[in-house]
Amino acid sequence: MTLDIDKIREQFPILERSVGNRRLVYLDNTATSQTPSSVVDNIVSLYEHTKANVHRGVHTLSQEATDLQEHTRRRVRDYINAASEEEVIFTRGTTEAINLVASSYGDRFRDGDEIILTVMEHHANIVPWQLLQRHHDIKIKVVDINDRGELDLEQYRSLFNERTVFASFAHVSNVLGTVNPVKEMIAIAHSHGVPVLVDGAQATPHLAVDVRDLDCDFYVFSSHKMYGPTGVGVLYGRRSLLETMPPYQGGGEMIKHVCFSGTTFADLPFRFEAGTPDFIDIAAFAKALDFIEATGIENIRSHEEELLAYTTAKLIEIPDVRIYGTAPGKSAVISFNVGAVHNYDIGLLLDKLGVAVRTGHHCAQPLMERLGIPGTVRASFAVYNTREEADMFIDALKRVAAMF
């Protein structure tokens, strides 16, 4: 299927704005994608017509809002092929979802236990596990990468022993674009009886994800990277594990009965959804999933891969450019530096020319240390980006490089 990119772009009014008297070229999609009008209009409509707290009232608005939230839960279940909607928990984002698992499932960890992470993890998949070390002498082992940015699978295999209790790693690197062989990595962990969390924040906008085919125990991702609203995340958890985990937070909605002599907790998934959720944006997230499915996830990936190859070929022609992450089949992310020029300076000057890229360590400081650099410039693509925008980016970068 050939995508009509012009029609797709018409759904994103922000792409028509100017920055620095130049048309915006938005290449910061790994940080957050833009949102189509169908989602924005739905949010406005919900606020104007259906705003009422969910699961709390017998009146019509509350029932309607509840139905819309639970519709999204079912849509997410189908999108990732979970076994049931009880395995789909709404959070504020990927970060909270990982913290939930680290706090709740990690409650069972003890002195001497070991956890396996990788050097390419986002801080959100490092710090929550380090926080557990405040209470127990837990050891974190780290899988290294090769020069292409691929994980060392032999080292990964070698790290498992009788003390290993958990493994957690990214499906796709937010810096390198590497698509990790997560199905194989999960199978290795399970052969040792070790459960696995997969950080799918950078995978779900670009790849078809089937949690049952992967056989993962936990999978986490965010709406705002999937053309959806901010402040909405998803934790998928294997039901047999979720049922053994204590609540992450206490309050309304996550209880069956409260009294001062003791409290009993709600069934899944509500046990992990304390307080009033962002029910408006959760409901609107369904519209973002509609957009992705109408466009076709394979069509999205094919378009982004074509842009990645086209832009990379032009980028490497610029003198002194060094690209970080060259694994085959990588996602549509290019992290690079130009000679000794600071990444911040490049990003700032590109912005003056209307090009939005990300600069810095990308919440992946251990990876930057491994690469021996303070940070990179990162350009990342979405389905609405075009070859024309890639050319505008390259032309702007050539101008910036010439200044130094």
Element housing 140 (H / E): strand 139-143
For the chain, what is the mean pLDDT?
96
Alpha-carbon distance of 76 to 84, in angstroms, equals 10
Alpha-carbon distance of 133 to 237, in angstroms, equals 23
Q: Are 38 and 290 in contact (CB under 8 A)?
A: yes
* 363 among known catalytic residues: yes
What confidence score (pLDDT) does residue 1 get?
65
What confidence score (pLDDT) does residue 235 get?
98
What percentage of the chain exceeds 90 in pLDDT?
92
Alpha-carbon distance of 212 to 235, in angstroms, equals 14
Question: Which domains are delineated in the chain?
Answer: 5-30+296-403 (3.90.1150.10), 40-293 (3.40.640.10)
Residues 6+ apart with CB under 8 A from 166: 105, 106, 109, 113, 115, 116, 194, 195, 196, 197
| Local confidence band at 260 (pLDDT 50, 70, 90 cut-offs) | confident
Alpha-carbon distance of 26 to 9, in angstroms, equals 12
DSSP-assigned beta bridge partners for residue 25 = 355
Residue with tokens 């980016």: 393
3-state secondary structure (DSSP) of residue 228: coil
- Mean local confidence (pLDDT), 164-168: 98
What confidence score (pLDDT) does residue 250 get?
84
pTM recorded for the entire structure: 0.96
Give the tens place of pLDDT for each residue, 347-383.
999 999 999 999 999 999 999 999 999 999 999 999 9
- The dihedral built from the CA positions of residue 68, 70, 71 and 72, taken in this order, carries a sign that is positive
List the catalytic residue out of 5, 266, 318, 363: 363
- Mean local confidence (pLDDT), 249-271: 81
3-state secondary structure (DSSP) of residue 95: helix
Q: Does the pLDDT at position 61 exceed 90?
A: yes
What confidence score (pLDDT) does residue 157 get?
98
Q: Does the pLDDT at position 388 exceed 70?
A: yes
Amino acid, single-letter form, for residue 244: T
Element housing 91 (H / E): strand 88-91
Query: How far, in Å, are 1, 3, 88, 173, 387 from residue 298 at the CA level?
Result: 9, 11, 24, 19, 19
Alpha-carbon distance of 146 to 275, in angstroms, equals 44
Q: How many CA atoms lie within 13 A of 144 on its CB side?
A: 8
> How big is the chain by its Cα radius of gyration, in Å?
22
- Mean local confidence (pLDDT), 151-178: 98
Q: Which of 11, 31, 50, 49 is nearest to 230 (CA)?
A: 31
Give the tens place of pLDDT for each residue, 270-293.
899 989 999 999 999 999 999 999
What confidence score (pLDDT) does residue 73 get?
98
Give the tens place of pLDDT for each residue, 191-233.
999 999 999 999 999 999 999 999 999 999 999 999 999 999 9
Alpha-carbon distance of 401 to 28, in angstroms, equals 20
DSSP-assigned beta bridge partners for residue 168 = 197
What confidence score (pLDDT) does residue 131 get?
97
Higher pLDDT, 33 or 263: 33
Alpha-carbon distance of 165 to 110, in angstroms, equals 10
| Local confidence band at 170 (pLDDT 50, 70, 90 cut-offs) | very high
Q: Are 142 and 117 in contact (CB under 8 A)?
A: yes
Amino acid, single-letter form, for residue 117: L
Q: Following CA atoms 94, 97, 99, 102 in sequence, which dihedral angle do they give, to the nearest 10 degrees? A: -120
Q: Does the pLDDT at position 265 exceed 90?
A: no
Element housing 80 (H / E): helix 60-80
Q: Which of 268, 288, 293, 269 is nearest to 226 (CA)?
A: 288
